[in-house]
């Protein structure tokens, strides 16, 4: 059986405009949820910086119940250190680390 597709979901600039006012937060989320409903096998991992200040339970509350159930977790936070090359993409590394820890295929 094929493994389910994983959507690594950011918030700022995705579920709402980057640097928006509070009333605009998550204004695009209904559109994203509609797409996710058309792809019922897709599972979600939160890769947003919001995961650094909000617990997973709280992050799930932003979503409709049926979509919140598909959130597997969030990516680990990998702090940048001086030994890393400047071109290191931390967000990509965080997603790759999550996959390495959670996928068995």
Asked whether the predicted pLDDT for residue 45 surpasses 60, the reply is: yes
- pTM, entire model: 0.87
Tell me whether residue 71 is in a domain: yes
Tell me whether residue 76 is in a domain: yes
* Residues 31 and 64 sit within 8 Å (Cβ to Cβ): no
Mean pLDDT, the chain, whole residue set: 90
Q: What is the mean pLDDT of residues 62-81?
A: 93
Tell me whether residue 1 is in a domain: no
Residues contacting residue 10 through CB under 8 Å, at least 6 positions apart: 47, 48, 91
Tell me whether residue 11 is in a domain: yes
What is the count of structural domains for the chain?
1
Structural domain that includes position 88: 6-102
Tell me whether residue 46 is in a domain: yes
- Output the pLDDT for position 90: 81
């Amino acid at each position: 059986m094929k493994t389910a597709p994983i959507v690594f979901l950011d918030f700022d600039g995705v579920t709402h405009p980057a640097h928006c006012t509070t009333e605009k937060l998550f204004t695009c989320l209904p559109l994203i949820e509609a797409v996710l409903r058309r792809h019922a096998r897709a599972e979600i991992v939160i890769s947003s910086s919001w995961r650094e200040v909000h617990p997973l339970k709280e992050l799930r509350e932003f979503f409709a119940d049926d979509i919140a159930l598909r959130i597997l977790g969030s990516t680990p936070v990998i702090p940048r250190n001086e030994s890393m090359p400047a071109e290191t993409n931390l967000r990509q590394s965080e997603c790759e680390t999550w996959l390495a820890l959670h996928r068995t295929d």
